[in-house]
Structure 1
Amino acid sequence: MTLIRRICAGLLALLVAALTSCSVDGSAIPVQGIRQVDDRGVRLPFTTKHSQRWNTANDGTEYEPCTGVQLRDLSRLNIDARSVRDAAKTNGQTLRGCIWTYEETGTDIPPSISQTVGNGKGLDAAKARRSGPQDSWLDDILIASRRVGIHVYSFEGYCATYVESGTATVISTASHSGTHPLNREQLCERAIAFTKATIDRMPE
């Protein structure tokens, strides 16, 4: 009888372990019905609590900004890899991606860079949608033979690049506020640099 109880206890322990965790690429991942990996099976750099982080508003590309950028690129661009956080504020948010901050000195608020994915009908449609009195689009540029749009506002503190990927758009946004904010040209340089570092990983 004692042997049977020991066997049952061992089986129960294995069952509990199987129900509470699984492994992708050797990493333990909580199983709560909430996805924690990208389409390639790579673990997100944080644990998301949003069960609808991936949804029909951002499934037009398999590209995942949070795993698309490499640590060496973050270091080269002077971005603090430890500062990564989910761009989604609420469950089911349209845009999917991450936000990082730069390792900056001489300012009370460090500049930030974000990269997000949202479904759309292409760059021209994005330009038409964002064509208000405060919106401006600089001349398109080519990065890795791909067309990149550059969006700015009439006020300083923001610059974003737009790249088509599948039926979605990947948006890289550099922003800054505070007592000594970076100017538009500096922010556009950062948005473009981040795009250059990741564009080869974005499916066309």
Structure 2
Amino acid sequence: MGNRGLFAALVALAAFSASCSQPGDLTPESAQMDSTRPTESYVRQTDSHGLPLPFVNKMAKRWNSSNDGSPYEPCTAMDESTAAELGLDPGSVKDAAKVDGQTLRGCEWRYIDPEEWSWSAYQMVADYDSLADYKNLNPTFNWLESQNLESRSVGVASLNSGQCFTYVQSLDSGVVSGVGYAGLPNPPLAEICQRAIDLTEATIDKIPE
């Protein structure tokens, strides 16, 4: 499966996982190391700006040639104030990748209100050419009307009645922001998609174009 098809499959997988979820700093010299080449003594713990990840990263290939098209890091972009704005629990953050070297790079969160523990959110990065190209190659997604946020085109799609995500281009990568609801009956899809749009809007000023 090519990178594009794999990304589409991983988006769906991560969204499913999110919907079903229940309630060492680098020196300037080491920051220049190639993060795609693991060593026994070096596992990167910071984003491209030197901010520490909100968890201990044990995956030497977390950054790799399938997700290095943008320096954007969802796990550090979601600071406490942004999480509070969205109603997310910053303490619930976890790495979206399940295995080392995975295409996707990002994080998942739960909502902080116990009454909203059926909701979950995620944001991921993977290399991709453009929104138009991604839509053309994934016609089976239920593509909804695109949004314009901060003068940028944002694609909106649903995977099923309990899943919705957005796509915004960032340099040579796509940033996918999704929200899922685990439970029946599902809320209106418009409500789920609005939460995904809100997540995108809250972080889009940090996503390089």
Q: TM class, shorter-chain normalised?
A: 0.7 to 0.9
Q: What letter matches 1:173 in structure 2?
A: G
- Cα contact 2:96–2:107 (8 A) shared by 1: yes
Q: CA RMSD in A?
A: 1.7
Structure ranking higher in strand proportion: 1
Task: State the distance in 1 between where 2:104 and 2:25 align.
Answer: 27
The corresponding residue for 2:156 is 150
The corresponding residue for 1:9 is none
* Deviation of 1:183 (Å): 2.8
Q: How many residues align?
A: 174
Higher relative contact order (CA 8 A, sep 6+): 2
The corresponding residue for 2:192 is 187
Within the candidate set 167, 171, 178, 2:176 is matched to 171
Q: What letter matches 1:122 in structure 2?
A: S
With normalisation by structure 2, the TM-score equals: 0.78
Q: Does 1:110 align with 2:115?
A: no
Indicate how the Cα distance of structure 1 residues 179 and 103 shifts in structure 2: closer, same or farther if over 3 A, else same. Answer: farther
- What SS does the aligned partner of 1:139 have? coil
Q: Give structure 2 stretches of 5+ with no counterpart.
A: 1-23, 28-39
* Deviation of 1:24 (Å): 4.8
Task: State the distance in 2 between where 1:149 and 1:161 align.
Answer: 5
For each residue in 1:39-77, what CA deviation from the matched residue of structure 2 results, as whole angstroms up to 9, or x when unmatched?
A: 000000001111100000000000000011221111121
Q: Give structure 1 stretches of 5+ with no counterpart.
A: 1-21, 26-30
Q: Does 1:74 align with 2:89?
A: no
Indicate how the Cα distance of structure 1 residues 23 and 105 shifts in structure 2: closer, same or farther if over 3 A, else same. Answer: closer
- What SS does the aligned partner of 2:93 have? strand
Q: What letter matches 1:96 in structure 2?
A: R
- What SS does the aligned partner of 1:170 have? strand
Q: Does 1:141 align with 2:147?
A: yes
The corresponding residue for 1:200 is 205
Q: Does 1:86 align with 2:95?
A: yes
Task: State the distance in 1 between where 2:191 and 2:112 align.
Answer: 15
In our comparison, the structure showing a higher alpha carbon Rg is 1
Q: Taking every aligned residue pair, what percent have the same amino acid on both sides?
A: 39
* Deviation of 1:105 (Å): 3.7
With normalisation by structure 1, the TM-score equals: 0.80
Q: What letter matches 1:117 in structure 2?
A: V
